[in-house]
């Protein structure tokens, strides 16, 4: 996969995997063309754990018989929840009159409602357990399920996790010390350059102010010099076509003479 489509996570990363669509017993369809099964999902999470691609995963799925999709998971540090049990449908919430189809499912709708109303900012202390407790059959119209056994500490450990650990959380990133030092050196050099430019600019401004404060003495050119220059310009002879042709002929004659003298000298040397 190209780098732009990679998750680029490591063993310190918390990951939210949210899947929604049409499905059935241990499978989820992708636009009626392809599907992923519960064993495929379990294998993917297993590969991620072996390659140290996550620290903890919150897996949520909204589809018919959704809870069967996490039945095959066996990798550690996973909290899983789904919208409906085996042989149970998952229902949509409402349809859009312009589009003419349902635009959101009930399970997803009430998850979003809880997040928007209860989790105000990144300092929220709302836990995953409180989110799960908000699931109500009368609202979702199906039995949402939760799996805690893969998580360290079981139900207590999983339910105490903050929602912001998975939804919209920004973890602190450790920057390589070598790169950090290079960046500091570049910033220091840039600040020195800016300081020098400011000093030069201040000096130029001071010099301009000093020049503007010094009284200027007007200097007038002598009248006779200006008159003499005018007389010289008026006495100049314009270069006509005849003069130009004459000078050209003289120059060509001189060149031919030089060539002839050079040839004569060469003959005499022989």
Which residues are tagged catalytic? 22, 64
Q: Which two tokens stand for residue 114?
A: 């809880």
Count other Cβ atoms within 10 Å, centred on residue 10.
11
Nearest-5° Cα angle at 243, 237 to 249: 150
Q: Residue 162 has what DSSP assignment?
A: B
Burial class (CB in 10 A: 0-12, 13-18, 19+), 40: middle
Q: CA 70 → CA 127, 137, 223, distances in Å?
A: 21, 20, 106
Q: Do residues 87 and 109 make contact, with C-beta atoms less than 8 angstroms apart? A: no
Rounded CA gap, 67 and 185, in Å? Answer: 54
Q: Which two tokens stand for residue 86?
A: 């085996």
């Amino acid at each position: 996969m190209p780098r732009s489509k990679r998750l680029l996570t490591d063993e310190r990363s918390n990951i939210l995997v949210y899947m929604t669509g049409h499905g059935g017993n241990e499978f989820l369809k992708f636009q009626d063309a392809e599907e992923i099964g519960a064993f495929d999902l379990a294998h993917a999470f297993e590969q991620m754990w072996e390659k140290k691609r996550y620290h903890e995963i919150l897996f949520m799925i909204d589809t018919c018989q959704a809870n069967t999709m996490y039945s095959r998971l066996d990798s550690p540090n996973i909290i899983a929840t789904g919208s409906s049990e085996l042989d149970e449908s998952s229902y949509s919430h409402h349809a859009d009159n312009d589009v003419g189809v349902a635009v959101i499912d009930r399970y997803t709708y009430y998850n979003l409602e809880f997040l928007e109303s209860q989790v105000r900012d990144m300092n929220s202390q709302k836990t995953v357990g409180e989110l799960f407790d908000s699931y109500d059959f009368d609202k979702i119209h199906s039995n949402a399920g939760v799996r805690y056994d893969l998580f360290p500490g079981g139900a207590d450990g999983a339910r105490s996790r903050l929602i912001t650990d998975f939804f919209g959380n920004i973890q602190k990133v450790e920057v390589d010390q070598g790169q950090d030092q290079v960046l500091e050196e570049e910033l220091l050099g840039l600040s020195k350059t800016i300081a020098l430019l400011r000093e030069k600019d201040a000096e130029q401004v001071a010099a301009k102010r000093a020049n503007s404060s010094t009284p200027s003495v007007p200097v007038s050119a002598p009248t006779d010099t200006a008159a003499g220059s005018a007389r010289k310009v008026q006495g100049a002879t314009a270069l006509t076509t005849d003069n130009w042709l004459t000078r050209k002929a003289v120059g060509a004659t001189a060149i031919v003479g030089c060539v002839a003298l050079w040839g004569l000298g060469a003959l005499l040397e022989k």
